[in-house]
A and B are shown apart, each in its own frame.
Chain A
């Protein structure tokens, strides 16, 4: 083959010339030939993708009664790229909507990377304002009113939480999950925990019309992705029981009530007081409102899971079960006699009953809540043993309830004391306090409730939860979302038997500390607690207990901050709830039929078919309601 020297340089030159020619020709076509066409499109400057917000799922109780719903609202949007006169705009917004110039500038420049996008600058505007101002707003092409939905919280429940506009930090974190700058996001409670289920998926639409509304036909079809609405949550909560518990909660008191279904671990009522109206967060929060939410009574604090307290005597079953398991005591062992207290080292540890209980067996020690029995009991055990047992009882870990920010309880071990006081011996004084649920030990009311539920369940711990299932575009049941954790409590059937006997005596035997409990038709069990604390002079009042019937029972935990003795203050409230439950057991335990808005097409047809059979009349034109899509999602039966 004959070759020129460096013949390949000609190939390179050829390729270079061809590629440049291609670019120049294409650019000529685009910029010169079709230049005015694209100029026209650029002037209308609104070829863009519009987001169609998905409707957030609603929240219902176990009988499909609403707890959180969506209501229509009017919002004001700003497209910063269309602003022609910043000063006119800022004075208009300041005069009519109280948005000052600085705030406006901040909003505009925070979004400078999306100048074509509509920013939500004000939500929940009253209809009157919209009517009054819509003409003036039309003078500003950058402003537009749009209707949307906002959250409506029917009850001041702590567990619901609330939603809010996505903030800069959240946006940075979640923008890959297709959140827009205008998105609402769950900030707390179920709204936050189940954000993924509730939010749905926004739809998208390509806008390609010019100023005259003619289609620019840049894209072959008008692409439209419909929004997928969020899933509605069906909770285990019973609205009526929840309302009843709310009603009987002592006026002005601080504390909480938890009612749990023994069989399922589902929570039937969840009260934390004082409470607040989550709807406040749907408006711009004024300094006065903010101050009212941050009083010393801490209405924002969810006392069920976000606070830990000394458990006092409700902790004693932990000690009792360990003593029985370790063989330190049996059903009839009588420990040191109570003479109003017990001398340990150089300190005299008092029993709450100054006259003294004498020498008791474990069942009687529960019944009268004798402290001395437990002082003596822990003296026969290693601290780390007690720590390990408390841990195994689930009292130092989060319960795993489906809510964010849960706190875990605390129980010290020798390592803790080594760090704090520099020694691991001579801890008997600390131990004595721990034995009666005082000192360093802390629990959330939810942990206590879950522990007693495990006793009621014959020693089976089950993860407490609020969500039963979802409804809407997909029906997902509890197990499919996250299987419930469960484990056996660290004790034998014999120990279980003796503990239950003790808890029975508390509410039934003469001299029991919770004789206020009287539930006809059910066997009652329980334990009172009066925990001393640094917060006030009066003790925290605890009662936690359960009832057994031939139907599923419930566990009730009542906790009142600095309210006095558990038997006198907390037990009567629990008694009312037990009796209310017994009076309404048929209704509460009944499975409610799925309401029409959640029926699938087939189910609706089936129902309609039945109606046809009963009333065979003339042809009826059936209105086609919005049919939920059930494809691609696991289907389950209620």
Chain B
């Protein structure tokens, strides 16, 4: 059970503080005042129940023997992949096939897939006698499968999270950094392909970095040629797309190109957060929240309520709390001695950190609206359960860490 010397009570404390803060803000987000009459929807206590369930799940996780837990990971991953396929056949909600609904409970298989994929990838690349190239390809393969299924739903934001955690895991696997560079170079080539000056600078930087890494001339030549080719082919491919396909991609990258859809939401979120000013309007007093300009302000746009009601000071407190949590988390990764678990912890760290950053970024107009919830805070059972469980896994690793491996 809980090992008082090894268990990280501080990290667990931050986690509970964040969840509790979430319930308080959801209470405000679901309260509407009209002409003196107040009406609060029941989201906050539903979230409180989810919180209790999630913490109980963490407790259970700590209790079950590590050997059983490790045995469950692969079958759970396979089941999750099946769920991701099945969910594509559910009726669409707001145009996306993301949820299973039964008995009033909505389950989003992409949430559990994030955690399980991290655990499976960590397992796979920690096997003995693996070449670095093999590690990269196996990790990539195990990630692409769920990521593609989630992209079809469509849920572009979640797909991105998969690749951020993959990157963090490969870094934590202590692969030479030039592999990471080779891995992300095609993405940069595609992005730079629209400005010829950027292409030239990027290729020069790439070749320089690869030279510094003392790779063979053959490797450098192949990598450079492939990247140049990608840069040149991308505009051709882009022009081959139909107008509406181009439009869809553009309006994702630049929401203001779709002012009646996501652009409108981002403007409303910015107005809400900005009008909070330094000290905020006070708990339950948000006017923008009260007018329901944002349809999802208890889920994806919960930060807009925080920004409006608690102002810059409140936002700082929240970000500070997240910072302390993640800083503690990083230190904990260093404490874990088993390579597989350390890699998994790094993946979980990246998954939670990027969700947090993308969500707040979206609420302040920095990042396109992607439908990513704020971990621990946003209303939603699947999100709360699996982000809490992810922290629970790390707590379990810490709790049962040996001295040496």
Contacts and interface: CB of A to CB of B under 8 A. Distances in A.
A114 B256 CA distance: 23
A580 interface: no
B270 A30 contact: yes
A41 B271 contact: yes
Given A27-B364, A42-B288, A219-B267, A86 B35 contact: yes
A20 B35 contact: no
A270 to B, nearest CB: 37
Given A16-B353, A20-B319, A26-B366, A112 B330 contact: no
Interface string A66-97: 00000000000000110111100100000000
B256 A109 contact: no
A23 B319 contact: yes
Contacts of B275: 35, 38-39, 41-42
Nearest to B280: A31
Contact of A47 (B268, B278, B327): B268
A9 B308 CA distance: 35
B211 interface: no
Interface string A107-136: 011001111100000000000000000000
Contact of A31 (B290, B293, B311): B311
Interface string B338-379: 000000001001000100010011001110000000000000
A112 B34 contact: yes
Nearest to A39: B275
Contacts of B94: 176
Nearest to B308: A42
Nearest to B275: A42
A47 B268 CA distance: 8
Interface stretch (B135-143, B167-175, B186-194, B243-251): B167-175
B264 interface: yes
B402 interface: no
Contacts of B260: 49, 204, 206, 223, 225
A35 B276 contact: yes
A3 B224 CA distance: 27
Given A16-B323, A86-B34, A116-B293, A30 B330 contact: no
Interface string A7-48: 011011101100110111011101110111111011101011
Nearest to A79: B291
B273 to A, nearest CB: 6
A624 interface: no
A6 interface: yes
Contacts of B32: 112, 115
Interface in A43-70: 43, 45, 47-49
B293 A16 contact: no
B277 to A, nearest CB: 4
Given A35-B277, A85-B35, A105-B37, A24 B319 contact: yes
Contacts of A35: 274-278, 312
- Which residue, of B274, B277, B307, has the highest number of chain A Cβ atoms within 10 A? B274
Contacts of B312: 27-28, 31-32, 35
A116 B288 CA distance: 9
| Main SS at interface, chain A | helix
A442 B310 CA distance: 71
Nearest to A222: B259
Contacts of B346: 8, 12
A36 B277 contact: yes
Contacts of A204: 260
Nearest to A31: B312
A134 to B, nearest CB: 22
A48 B293 contact: yes
Contacts of A173: none
Interface string A522-563: 000000000000000000000000000000000000000000
Given A11-B171, A31-B307, A42 B292 contact: no
Given A86-B36, A220-B256, A27 B171 contact: no
A83 B330 contact: no
Contacts of B360: 23
Given A30-B273, A108-B34, A115-B292, A12 B168 contact: yes
A116 B292 contact: yes
B315 interface: yes
19 contacts: A6-B334, A12-B330, A12-B346, A19-B353, A23-B357, A27-B316, A27-B364, A28-B312, A31-B274, A31-B315, A32-B277, A42-B272, A42-B275, A45-B291, A47-B268, A47-B271, A48-B293, A49-B264, A85-B36
Interface of A: 1, 3, 6, 8-9, 11-13, 15-16, 19-20, 22-24, 26-28, 30-32, 34-39, 41-43, 45, 47-49, 80-81, 83-86, 89, 105, 108-109, 112-116, 176, 204, 206, 218-220, 223, 225
Interface of B: 32, 34-37, 39, 94, 168, 171-172, 174, 176, 256, 259-260, 263-264, 267-268, 270-278, 287-288, 290-293, 295, 307, 311-312, 315-316, 319, 322-323, 326-327, 330-331, 333-334, 346, 349, 353, 357, 360-361, 364-366
9 smallest beta-carbon distances between A and B, as pairs: A38-B274, A86-B35, A83-B35, A42-B275, A35-B277, A31-B312, A116-B291, A38-B275, A81-B291
